[in-house]
Structure 1
Amino acid sequence: MAQLYVVQSADFLFLQNQTQMTPGNLSSHLNKLEDAGYVEVTKEFIERKPHTALTLTKKGRNAFTEYRKKMKQVISALPKESEKTVYQKTKKKGENK
């Protein structure tokens, strides 16, 4: 969801490359997000090749915004040394945007 939060919509291959997940694993996660109403999945053919587009829904955007707020609260409650470590680790993973 973090990737879609930044780019709004993307295709399956872009998300797979960004997350380094296997196609099956990513598909499983996306199915759960779609079932929750967080992601809209559109499947079509482009030049006879399957293409899956993913868009973060308003519900998904709101849920991720709340998640970010809660994580910031948790991190800010940590001692300063721990807070710095958490930010460094998440920045390496591309989660601290």
Structure 2
Amino acid sequence: MSSISAIAQSGMQAALQRQSSSANNIANQNTEGFRRELVSQQEQSGGGTQTSVTRASQAGSQLPEDMVAQMASSYSFQASLKTLKTQDQMMGALLDVRA
């Protein structure tokens, strides 16, 4: 797998994790004692990103923040997918030129 596709796929996985965590936070915001999930991303050497999920130290809802995270993760996923599609098209064009 080329580094471009690995980077795009790790970006898509990170976006899905952020989407899942923010959806969980929204769904459980009124559950007594629920502590929000917090997603952090770290750059990997060689490209890509690694995500980790932790719990907030205190119970409480942050609905606006979670709604923004939903939108941001959706846009991030779309951007990574576009990168993957563009890389695929470039490889196809390269093969056409060489054939």
The alignment's TM-score, normalised by the length of structure 1, stands at: 0.33
| Structure with max Cα Rg | 2
Higher relative contact order (CA 8 A, sep 6+): 2
